[in-house]
Structure 1
Amino acid sequence: MTKETVGTPPRARRRPRLSTAVVEDLVNLIVAGTYPVGTALPPENMLCEMYEVSRTVVREATTALIEKGLVVTQQGRGTIVRENQAWNMLDPVILSALFKGEDGLRYLDNLSQVRVLLESEMAANAAREGTNEQREELAVQIEKLEELVTIPSAYVHEDLRFHDIIMCMSGDRLSKAIIDGIQSEALRTHAYSGKLSVEHVKLTQAAHRKVFDAIMARDPDAAGAAMREHISGSWTKRRTDSVRKAQG
């Protein structure tokens, strides 16, 4: 026995809660339509057998689904799937399932539209409200991006940082929280993140330059228009590439 372990209990290995795994699977099944709106989930004892878990775990999972707005319990009917208007569409697990589902591109289109609306206004606000220190930070970031144009894998991370700086400059914390929450799940999907080529990165950097120049010139109209054009154009290209790849 080593000195480190004498007199101390062994450390328990951390592992995901069983209820979390059950919730994720049931969310995927509900979103995919395996359990359609208005139908009941399998009864508690069947779920215990399906997932090889205790009733406590199933009840925890059911409570989580209720909190997400996916299901409701009804006396005599069981746990019933609710219409999607009731779902918490900003919930990370639901977002993940939506983006990865058959209608994933449609929801990614929605995300692009949300970004266009919010980030174009945030870029305009950044041009109006950004401090000198924030402008200096943005100037450093645009040069860092320039150095990484030929390294797409490294460029992607700094691309996100560029947008983050602009959102912080705008002072619009609520819009930033909405975009961060939705986009963090979208980035896990290949359809949204894509595989950038050097050619695509060069186009992206040119678009970033237009946004940057407008912000530095304190021109809110130009900054908003440049951001709108950048987000729309970038997503259109990634979407086209994704569809083409899916069609073989």
Structure 2
Amino acid sequence: MNYQTPLPRKSRHARIVNELGTQIVSGRFQPEQRLPPEAQLCADYDVSRPVLREATRVLVAKGLVRSKPKVGTVVKPRHEWHLLDPDVLHWLLQSDSRHSFYETLIKVRNIVEPEVAAMAAANARPEDIATIEEAYARMELAEDLVGMAEPDMDFHMAIANATHNELLIHLYCVLLLPVRDYIENSATMFDEDALSLLVPRHKAILTAIQHRDPLCARHAAIAQLAGVDNLVTEVMRSEPLSKDEISYDH
């Protein structure tokens, strides 16, 4: 029998949260279905009841489950999940229905991002514009979509910060992170010309902000998002749908 050093308490807790969260959002456990009994989960994950209960509390806080004595832990209906929780968003975009949920997510981004660009054009300070320019310069140097991911994230977050609206900045960051991850993970499936199409559209947003033109910034952001939508649509068409995606109702 090989001896394995147990994972640290924090790592075991994170593993339980991640695996159960993934199984719930992917449909492995259906709404109103009970999770396996505590004793079984403790044995499966080789953890104590306190560690398991700590992980369960995290899932409760994310709106995925409810837990009651003598009842157990039950999966909550989808409409009660905290969909803007970063972990829940990540699990949804990793699930079998990721393409369908991406469509839902990008529709929200299409509403928010043009207004963020317009507000940035109206409210940006000189130092904000300098930060946006620096991120764009790094985007121009990227050799592929994977290399563009980080400066692209910095570019959009710099624009959000230029609005000087802390609630909008937080909301936009929550929306942007999973979209960035989705595109980065699918980057190998994009056409080789994708980079040459995306970079100039970001330049248009930058130019509008430099000229403090909210209307042009809004329209430039809409055009940039349309380009991303077209690229992702091509990726979706090239991948076979799973049974879960075919029956997924969003």
Check whether TM > 0.5: yes
Distance between the aligned counterparts of 2:94 and 2:142, measured in 1?
29
Does residue 156 of the first structure (1) align with residue 139 of the second (2)? no
TM-score in terms of structure 1 length: 0.83
- Superposed CA offset, 1:36-71 (max 9, x none): 111211111111122222122222122222222111
Unaligned runs of 5+ in 2: 1-6, 242-250
Aligned to 1:35: 29
Distance between the aligned counterparts of 2:9 and 2:52, measured in 1?
17
Give the number of aligned pairs.
234
- Superposed CA offset, 1:49-100 (max 9, x none): 2222212222212222222211112454322211111111122322221111
Give the counterpart letter for 2:164 in structure 1: G
| Match of residue 171, structure 1, among 159, 164, 168 | 164
Unaligned runs of 5+ in 1: 1-12
Distance between the aligned counterparts of 1:76 and 1:23, measured in 2?
22
- Superposed CA offset, 1:120-158 (max 9, x none): 111111111112332333334434433x15454433322
Give the counterpart letter for 2:130 in structure 1: E
Aligned to 1:110: 104
Higher radius of gyration, 1 or 2: 1
Is the alpha carbon distance of 1:161 and 1:74 closer, same or farther for their aligned partners in structure 2, counting shifts above 3 Å? Answer: closer
Percent identical pairs in the alignment equals 27
TM-score in terms of structure 2 length: 0.82
Aligned to 2:211: 217
Q: Do the aligned residues in 2 keep the contact of 1:111 with 1:183 (CA within 8 Å)? A: no
* SS in structure 2 of the partner of residue 17 of structure 1: helix
Aligned to 2:246: none
Distance between the aligned counterparts of 2:182 and 2:134, measured in 1?
29
Distance between the aligned counterparts of 1:17 and 1:79, measured in 2?
22
Aligned to 1:119: 113
Distance between the aligned counterparts of 2:72 and 2:220, measured in 1?
52
* SS in structure 2 of the partner of residue 73 of structure 1: strand
Distance between the aligned counterparts of 1:28 and 1:141, measured in 2?
33
| Bigger shift: residues 22-31 or 187-196 | 187-196
| Bigger shift: residues 187-196 or 23-32 | 187-196
Deviation at 1:201, TM superposition (A): 1.2
Q: Do the aligned residues in 1 keep the contact of 2:198 with 2:227 (CA within 8 Å)? A: no
Q: Do the aligned residues in 1 keep the contact of 2:110 with 2:222 (CA within 8 Å)? A: yes
Aligned to 1:4: none
User: Cα RMSD over matched residues?
Assistant: 2.5
Q: Do the aligned residues in 2 keep the contact of 1:105 with 1:191 (CA within 8 Å)? A: no
Aligned to 1:8: none
| Match of residue 86, structure 1, among 71, 80, 96 | 80
Distance between the aligned counterparts of 1:94 and 1:183, measured in 2?
14
Distance between the aligned counterparts of 1:191 and 1:152, measured in 2?
7
Distance between the aligned counterparts of 2:171 and 2:229, measured in 1?
18
Distance between the aligned counterparts of 2:66 and 2:81, measured in 1?
11
Aligned to 2:247: none
Q: Do the aligned residues in 1 keep the contact of 2:118 with 2:213 (CA within 8 Å)? A: yes
Distance between the aligned counterparts of 1:224 and 1:25, measured in 2?
40
Does residue 20 of the first structure (1) align with residue 24 of the second (2)? no
| Match of residue 227, structure 1, among 218, 221, 226 | 221
Give the counterpart letter for 1:107 in structure 2: F
